[in-house]
Amino acid sequence: MKYYLLAGEASGDLHGSNLMKALLKADPEANFRFWGGDLMQNVGGTLVLHYKERSFMGFLEVLMNLGKILGLIKSCKKDIASFKPDVIIFIDNSGFNLRIAEWAKKEGFRTNYYISPQVWASRAGRVEKIKRDIDAMYVILPFEKAFYDKYNYEVTFVGHPLIDAIAEFKTEKQDQFRAKHNLDERPIIALLPGSRKQEINKMLGVMLEMVDLYKNYQFVIAGAPSQSHEFYESIIGSQDVKFVTNATYALLEQSHAALVTSGTATLETALFKVPQVVCYKANAISYYIAKKIITLDYISLVNLIMDKEIVTELIQHDLNKTRLQKELEAILNTNKRPEMLANYDQLIAKLGGEGASKNAAEHIVARLKAPK
């Protein structure tokens, strides 16, 4: 079978690669063509465009790059038509993917979606487009099935793929990890400032203001594979911090606490049982628009899944040196730390066990073998 996959960021690349591995087990003759990243490319097939070439964050950034985005949509449609896949698999990234899905459905292609757009967060009206254009939806968050049920749209909960990704992670001994990255014996506070240039610029500077306040700890930045070391150095300056790249899981496994940009990383940090403070800041226009359309009480996946505040979220103006120090102190030296770890155990139980990629792949292949 021929599979065309569309992933638009680092997390989509991770989940897409694991789905491709599972598809190969369910269909050894699988032929992949995809928009994604290095991890998907390592599995095999043809990479059409790397996600870093179309990584735009926020409403203003999308508007500024609208011409390029429209060109990419046109190019993607042309490439799909040429490849003639048996199924198109969309992975998150709704702004781009739902536009392709509308066209693809009209053209008669099978359309599957793995990792739902966050329609439960904003613009719920998009559910009607999903019902019209997507043949099968595979969701990874337990509350998403109940959400779609309200719209009479049947979806399949397959579990969360991060459980699989972390289960496959090979533990690195503490002394080996520290020696490899030139780290000393002090406890580690991990800094995860995101993967896009815009969010790193917004978040990392504030995170670095903690370095001089906590000399008994060492701060280590988890570099995104899509960004150069030179880019980080322009922000770090002379600060006494360490830097690792392509080693986020190894870093989290060794960390005592973490400052994390909102996104998939908040859940990864929780699954490694690292107490965290969630950080988020956008440009003023993007934030204003988001406030108007987003209906959620929380922005981090940890709090959303648990439906209560497990981790503190410092958003926009709340993300400042004073507040960040207060919240970091709380997870280092108060009873908030054991309470957060206990809540993480409940979170993990809610997400279910391993097998999300396998479950999704088996459903996709079974549908392909069934009559259209």
pLDDT at 23: 98
Give the DSSP letter string of 18-73. Answer: HHHHHHHHH-TT-EEEEEE-HHHHHHSSEEEEEGGGG---HHHHHHHTHHHHHHHH
pLDDT at 53: 76
Cα 307 off chain centre by: 19
Same domain, 310 and 238: yes
Closest to 264 measured CA to CA, from 11, 1, 4: 11
Q: In a structure prediction context, what are the per-residue pLDDT tens digits for the chain, which is 372 residues long?
A: 999 999 988 889 989 999 999 999 999 999 999 999 999 999 999 999 998 876 655 555 555 666 677 888 999 999 999 999 999 999 988 889 999 999 999 999 999 999 998 888 777 888 999 999 999 999 999 889 989 999 999 999 999 999 988 888 878 888 899 999 999 999 999 999 998 888 898 899 999 999 999 999 999 999 988 788 899 999 998 899 999 998 999 999 999 999 999 888 999 999 999 999 999 887 655 555 555 555 567 889 999 999 899 999 999 889 999 999 999 999 998 888 999 999 999 999 889 788 999 999 999 999 998 876
Closest to 275 measured CA to CA, from 323, 343, 214: 343
- Domain of residue 262, CATH code: 3.40.50.2000
Q: Which residues contact 33 (CB under 8 A, 6 or more apart)?
A: 2, 3, 4, 5, 45, 46, 48, 79, 83, 85
Quickly count helices (H) and strands (E) in the chain: 18, 13
Same domain, 33 and 176: no
How far, in Å, CA of 80 to CA of 14, rounded?
Answer: 22
**pTM of the prediction?**
0.79
- Per the CB < 8 A criterion, the answer to whether 109 and 88 are in contact is yes
Same domain, 274 and 131: no
| pLDDT single digits (tens) 240-287 | 999 999 899 999 999 999 999 988 899 999 999 999 999 988 765 555
Closest to 250 measured CA to CA, from 322, 184, 177: 177
pLDDT at 18: 92
Torsion 360-361-362-367 (CA) sign: positive
Same domain, 84 and 213: no
Same domain, 139 and 198: no
Same domain, 188 and 151: no
Q: Domain containing 57: what range?
A: 2-159+355-369
Q: Tell me the C-alpha to C-alpha distance, in Å, between residue 70 and each of 141, 241, 321.
A: 30, 40, 39
Same domain, 149 and 282: no
Same domain, 298 and 359: no
| pLDDT single digits (tens) 46-105 | 999 998 876 655 555 555 666 677 888 999 999 999 999 999 999 988 889 999 999 999
Give the DSSP letter string of 141-176. Answer: SHHHHHHHHTTT---EE---HHHHHHHHPPP--HHH
Number of domains in the chain: 2
Same domain, 105 and 69: yes
Closest to 329 measured CA to CA, from 259, 255, 243, 254: 259
DSSP H or E run through 355: none
pLDDT at 249: 94
Same domain, 138 and 207: no
pLDDT at 142: 87
Q: Which residues contact 306 (CB under 8 A, 6 or more apart)?
A: 343, 346, 347, 350
Both tokens of residue 94? 């709704």
Both tokens of residue 260? 């994390």
Same domain, 22 and 95: yes
> What is the identity of the amino acid at 43?
V
Torsion 271-273-278-279 (CA) sign: negative
DSSP H or E run through 109: none
Same domain, 61 and 199: no
